[in-house]
Amino acid sequence: MARVCQITGKRPQVGNNVSHANNKTKRKFYPNLQKKRFYLPEEDSWITLKVSTSALRTINKNGITAVLKKARENGNILV
């Protein structure tokens, strides 16, 4: 499975390791993804999502149903 947040769509970014001698080599910056189960009271079911920690904060603030609705509108989640 890809390292992509299913709520925000965050993906790995590409950058450089820069040494003390200013040598540059390619590297990747990965999003902080967590596998998490959420309960949907409307459907009386559980879903498992791979979400970034910033998405977890958004879910805690706005609620899982509102966040899922917005993610579906943005095309980040297909369920």
Quick: pLDDT tens for 12-26.
999 999 999 999 999
Structural domains counted in the chain: 1
pLDDT band of residue 76 (cuts 50, 70, 90) is confident
In a domain, 6, yes or no: no
This prediction has a pTM of 0.84
Domain annotation covers residue 69: yes
Core vs surface per residue 4-39: b (16+ CB within 10 A) or e:
ebbbbebeeeeeeeeeeeeeeeeeeeebebeeeebe
Q: Is residue 4 part of a domain?
A: no
Q: What is the CATH number of the domain that holds 25?
A: 2.30.170.40
Residue 8 maps to a domain: no
* pLDDT of 79: 58
Rounded CA-CA distance 20/24 in Å is 10
For 6, 14, 26, 45, the CA distances from 17, given in Å and listed in that order, are 28, 10, 6, 44
Q: Which domain holds residue 41?
A: 13-74
